[in-house]
Amino acid sequence: MRQQHSIITGRASVITEKEFRNEFTDIMADSFEVMECYYEAKIQVLEESLTNLTLLDNAREIAFLCKEIIRTKNALRKISNKKRLS
């Protein structure tokens, strides 16, 4: 089944896992501030993607987005700990 444009269907567009991986690849930066900004922006995008999804129609997407939010918050927590220790 092909995904139709959100204007045609009246539904919000859903970011696929492949599109997400292409848009947010892990960064290799030497500044803790840069990495923090990156992960905070990533969390914000993920949370915004969740707002238009319904559990009945988009259960897999919701599960994927929740797992990505958890992974990203854990990475952000590790960066914050490293920043405090430095």
Domain boundaries, the chain: 15-21+29-85
Buried b vs exposed e over 14-31: b needs ≥16 C-beta within 10 Å?
bbeeeebeeebeeeeeee
pLDDT tens digit sequence for 4-44: 444 444 455 566 666 666 565 655 556 888 889 989 999 99
Residue entry with tokens 């319904």: 54
What is the pLDDT confidence band of residue 75, given thresholds at 50, 70 and 90?
Answer: very high
Mean pLDDT for all residues in the chain? 78
Rg (CA), the chain: 15
